[in-house]
Amino acid sequence: MKTKHIAVAMLIAAFAINVSAAEKKVELKLELPKPMFVGTPMPVKLPNMEAPNTPAPKIMVPEGTTNLAKGKKVTSSDSAPVIGELEMITNGDKEATDGSYTELGPGLQWVQIDLGAKANIYAVALWHYHAQARAYHDVVVQVSNDPDFVTDVKTVYNNDHDNSAGMGIGTDKAYIEVNTGRLIDTKGVTGRYVRLYSKGNTANEMNHYIEVEVFGTPAK
């Protein structure tokens, strides 16, 4: 009987260790490109502007979380970019130099990343164009298992203060583009597709993407 109790205790201890390991969290650290402001920054004023130099959120993710977007297929509302190629958005190059960004046409545009399978998504990091102080309008980020984003759509970021993009009024802040990009805490939302919207910027009517990273783990 004593041996049986010991065996049960060992099983309970092993289970507790496995649960603890599964729940271990680490702080997500981004690899950042170098700062690259060029020329005299233009003043940027928007109704919902974030204060300059606001620190990025500290996001804790499960150990083993990776960038699931690296090298994945990108589609867009603008299938023929003015500059660059859609695949550049997930190629790992975050610099704001010529040849490192993709330019889409004016108006409301989106890019969409197919992660290849359903995933638990803990954070999205995105870089528009950060060689000049500018803010992009109506930045909305959504996650879904529907490639057409008709059903099962979850909005994880929305800084559209007046619903000009038609997806509801958002409470997130507009922000100045810098080399740190925008890190969004998506809190483990599940989905296969990530779609990112914008509607021009404070410097011109065009939409730009340098890189998008999606940090997560495969969904069970």
Strand locations in the chain, DSSP E? 25-27, 60-62, 66-67, 74-76, 102-104, 109-127, 140-144, 154-158, 182-198, 207-209, 211-218
Quote the tokens at residue 23: 């729940």
Residue found under tokens 């150990």: 63
- The residue type found at 207 is N
Write phi, then psi, for 85 (nearest 5 degrees).
Answer: -130, 155
Q: Using CA atoms, how far apart are residues 78 and 110, in angstroms rounded to an integer?
A: 8
Q: What is the pTM of this model?
A: 0.88
Closest C-alpha to 128, from 105, 100, 164: 100
Domains of the chain plus CATH, in order, are 26-218 (2.60.120.260)
Q: Give buried/exposed letters for 123-160 (b at 16+ CB in 10 A, else e).
A: bbbbbbbbbbbbbbbbbbbbbbeeeebeeebebbbbbb
* DSSP 3-state of 17: helix
User: Which pLDDT tens digits describe the chain residue by residue (220 residues)?
Assistant: 455 554 444 444 444 444 444 579 999 999 999 998 765 566 788 999 998 889 999 999 999 999 999 999 999 999 999 999 999 999 999 999 999 999 999 999 999 999 999 999 999 999 999 998 899 999 999 999 999 999 999 999 999 999 999 999 999 999 999 999 999 999 999 999 999 999 999 999 999 999 999 999 999 8
Tens of pLDDT along 86-136? 999 999 999 999 999 999 999 999 999 999 999 999 999 999 999 988 999
Residue found under tokens 């810098």: 178
Write phi, then psi, for 39 (nearest 5 degrees).
Answer: 80, -170
Q: Using CA atoms, how far apart are residues 131 and 34, in angstroms rounded to an integer?
A: 10
